[in-house]
Amino acid sequence: MPYVMVQIPNTPAPTSPSAPRSVPTSADVARLAGVSRATVSYVLNDTGAVRISEPTRRRVHRAAEELGYVPHAAARSLRAGHSRMVLMPAPPVPAGPLHSQFVHDFQGALSRLDYTVVQYGNCGLHGDEAARAWAELRPVAVLVPGPGLGPRGVAVLKRSGARAVVTFGTEPVDGAHALLTDHAGVGRGAARHLYARGRRRIGVVVPEEPGLETFSAPRLDGAREAVHGLAGATVTALPLAYTEESAAALAARWRDLGLDGVFAYNDEYAMLLMSALQDEGVRVPEDAAVIGADDLMLARLLRPRLSTVRITLPSGRGLAELVDRAVRNPGATPESHELFDATVVQRDST
Amino acid sequence: MPYVMVQIPNTPAPTSPSAPRSVPTSADVARLAGVSRATVSYVLNDTGAVRISEPTRRRVHRAAEELGYVPHAAARSLRAGHSRMVLMPAPPVPAGPLHSQFVHDFQGALSRLDYTVVQYGNCGLHGDEAARAWAELRPVAVLVPGPGLGPRGVAVLKRSGARAVVTFGTEPVDGAHALLTDHAGVGRGAARHLYARGRRRIGVVVPEEPGLETFSAPRLDGAREAVHGLAGATVTALPLAYTEESAAALAARWRDLGLDGVFAYNDEYAMLLMSALQDEGVRVPEDAAVIGADDLMLARLLRPRLSTVRITLPSGRGLAELVDRAVRNPGATPESHELFDATVVQRDST
């Protein structure tokens, strides 16, 4: 087995006259406790591989406490050859309420399985380059939302020791477990519902905020697909920024657009647009049927109450178990799961 | 300087018959490129400390590519004695929209300054124990939201090499930079406004969701403080869960409570409660003046339009610069900044 000489400076060059005191090392602990460094490592990393007497253990813990020494996770994972780190690149857009809740539950569930969840920014990298940056952290598992990671990137991650790579997206990626997010299905469900409610000239809101096209493009495609070939049905893309001004401008030209129904991307854009339409005197649902997506509680409070496409995400615990299973069986055939279930909930706005 | 022997197994014991292929090491790259390991390290870590010919560089890069080798960030940070990792423990509750946007901007700004932002769950640890777990990752800076980290925890982090510890909270912590979040000021502003609008029997919503007491308790205290000693003024805590049922139950006993104004914790709880009050026939603002906080766009769309306490967070960039300044001058006197600015925005609900 190869060994790497890793140098830990215990007297870093001061960067200013008042630089912090030197970082205590396990050698300092060993010296103070009067034991070997190996003993310090055995005691503090609690390996159980070697029997150490209780008085020695206590001496080591006391010395570590006195010096303020804590083991170095990186050194430990280098020694172990793997980590318990599950890496999740941060999403490219500020998280919405559904996503925040899901990540929160998922993190909790993975922590209970003794994994450390690390979320971090993509530093502006994409595709294989991003995969290399992630690989440098030697995570035991990587969960990649959105597109961009290809089979090559998956291979880079696996070669660097990741036992499980899980992608979220519309298509599986070779070598990775897939959580399939059927955004086209959300658009399809919304458009079918509007058609069934007698609407023929259907608008689909496309948010102008950067980073959302990953979700909005398949939603628009799904809506187009749903009414394709149906008598008299058209689908019109409606760019909309998440501001009152943009919504007012769209509402002002609503009658010229000649539309009678709209799938508003999600409930937040739907609330914004519905309010602007009402201010413009456009009646909902008579002149414009409006449907959102996500089934946010606040959207149920609107009058007329908002119809929506409810998206049910799996429990954080279920997903955490999938990750754990994948880590334990790195050679197993990649699993593929539908990540969410989309159901139309009709209320008063359609 | 001490050296640690760190062992990287390049043939890990297979955990299943189909375990992944061995992880390539820099020794493998060196062998394939016909150079020393030191040369591989110089080239791939791009240190610039040693001059290496272009053909050698190319040979090393080609070999690394062929083998699928990427450097190990942990080994690199061990060698360097510090990292560029900024650690942010994940918040104890799913992030709200204001927080999501702020974290997103802040991460972007730190990435541009070449830091890697790592967010991770607190694994159920608290106080000094949590500080020790964070210290194991050897971050160069730590940003700790919420309470729980004391001067001892700050010292542990600094001893392990963190050059900057920044806390978010109502009080500064010895040895750390402080971003002061004046939640009491939010409650004070809201209660003062209700009083000025002629309200005397003021309710303050206290969310029942776990993890929010960090924010709700000082908001309630601030409201109490604002009207303390004022003629006829009372403050009543109103526990409320974020569900339609809980809001309906509170609205149903509104008249028995004998209140004439309410600070609803934030805009989301305000939207929920206002809608329930209206369904119950309680007129807003005549029978109940309602004020929220956060100034969410959606809350402006309600009728009557919601009054709110607008909370202005600093730019992500400004905060990223504070962190960078602190890392460069670890010995500087801790800075203390007000994190946000609270202003009452009166609309039609009060």
Rounded Cα–Cα distance for residues A48 and A276 (Å): 66
pLDDT at A214: 84
Return the percentage of chain B with pLDDT > 70, whole number. 86
Longest Cα–Cα distance of chain A, Å, equals 87
Q: Does residue B79 belong to the interface with chain A, where contact is any CB pair within 8 Å?
A: yes
Q: Are residues A234 and A321 in the same domain?
A: no
pLDDT at A11 over 80: no
C-alpha span between A164 and A181 (Å, rounded): 19
Highest mean pLDDT among B18-22, B80-84, B150-154, B267-271: B267-271
Would you tell me which residues 226-285 of chain B have a C-beta closer than 8 angstroms to some C-beta of chain A? Answer: 242-244, 268, 271-272, 275
pLDDT single digits (tens) A111-153: 888 888 887 765 556 777 788 878 887 889 999 876 678 898 8
Whether residue B91 is preceded by a cis peptide bond, meaning omega within 30 degrees of 0, is no
Evaluate whether residue A345 is within a structural domain: no
Q: Please return the burial class of B87, using the count of CB atoms within 10 Å of its CB with bins 0-12, 13-18 and 19+.
A: buried
Least confident piece of the model among A95-109, A270-284, B161-175, B202-216 = A95-109
Find chain B residues with C-beta within 8 A of A23's C-beta: 81, 159-161
What is the spatial distance between Cα A270 and Cα A299, in angstroms, rounded to a whole number?
8
Q: Could you tell me if A203 and A265 lie in one domain?
A: yes
User: What CATH number did the domain enclosing B31 receive?
Assistant: 1.10.260.40
- How many angstroms separate the CA atoms of B111 and A225, rounded? 40
- Shared domain check, A237 and A128: no
Residue A283, phi-psi category: left (phi > 0), alpha (psi -120 to 50), beta (remainder): beta
Same domain, B209 and B307: yes
Q: Reduce the DSSP state of residue A277 to 3 states and report it.
A: helix
Residues A204 and A299 in one domain: yes
Query: Per the domain annotation, does B96 fall within a domain?
Result: yes
Phi, psi (deg, nearest 5) at residue A157: -65, -45
Question: Which residues from B are below 8 Å from A329, CB to CB?
Answer: 16, 18
Among the residue ranges A63-77, A156-170, B157-171, the one predicted with the least confidence is A63-77
How do beta strands A116-120 and B116-120 pair?
Answer: antiparallel
Residues 6+ apart with CB under 8 A from B41: B26, B47, B71
Least Cα distance to A212 among A95, A337, A338, A290 occurs for: A95
Strands A85-89 vs A141-144: parallel, antiparallel or unpaired: parallel
**Number of alpha carbons in the 13 Å side-chain half-sphere of residue B340:** 22
Instruction: Determine, yes or no, domain membership for B66.
Output: yes
**A196 and A50 share one domain:** no
A50 and A104 housed in the same domain: no
Tell me: the pLDDT tens digits for A186-203? 999 999 999 999 999 999
**The domain containing residue A35 runs over which residues?**
26-71
- B260 in the same domain as B220: yes
* Crossing angle of the two packed helices A97-112 and A316-328, in degrees rounded to 10: 50
Give domain status of residue A173, yes or no: yes
A3–B4: do the CB atoms touch at under 8 Å? Answer: no
Residue of A nearest to B41 (CA): A4
Using the beta-carbon criterion (under 8 Å), do A78 and B21 form an inter-chain contact? no
Place of tokens 């971090």: A120
